[in-house]
Amino acid sequence: MKQSLPILTLTVNAAGVIAANRFVSAVGAQVVADANALGVARVAAAAASEKIPVDVLGTTIVQSGAAIAAGATLKSDANGKAITWAAAGAKLAIALDAAGGADELIEVLLIPNVA
């Protein structure tokens, strides 16, 4: 069962268009490949300066960018979607669900991250 149990959700001003369930940076931009993230957008932002809630601690729902095994350490792809961390990039979350491929919604545990 997919659920979202955030411990901390912050409101950020979007720096541009952001899709829901994607990794978001501290400056309100959708994260690019291998970058650090503040957390995951709960809703989409249609334009810059729109305020959106971002889950930063606890569990949340993220969109997959590829197949993911439950328990895998995750990072961001170029579109802010979760993919399996292999050897480089910021570790952003741990998969609590598996994804059979891209564009599935999975529950993740957000972790403090550094590139």
Dist CA 78 CA 58 (whole Å): 23
DSSP state of 5: -
pLDDT digits (tens, 9 = 90+) for 23-75: 999 999 999 999 999 999 999 998 999 999 999 999 999 999 999 999 999 99
- Strand pairing class (73-76; 82-84): antiparallel
pLDDT digits (tens, 9 = 90+) for 72-115: 999 999 999 999 999 999 999 999 999 999 999 999 999 998 66
- Strand pairing class (73-76; 23-24): unpaired
Helix (H) or strand (E) holding 21: none
Q: How far apart are the first and last CA of the chain?
A: 31
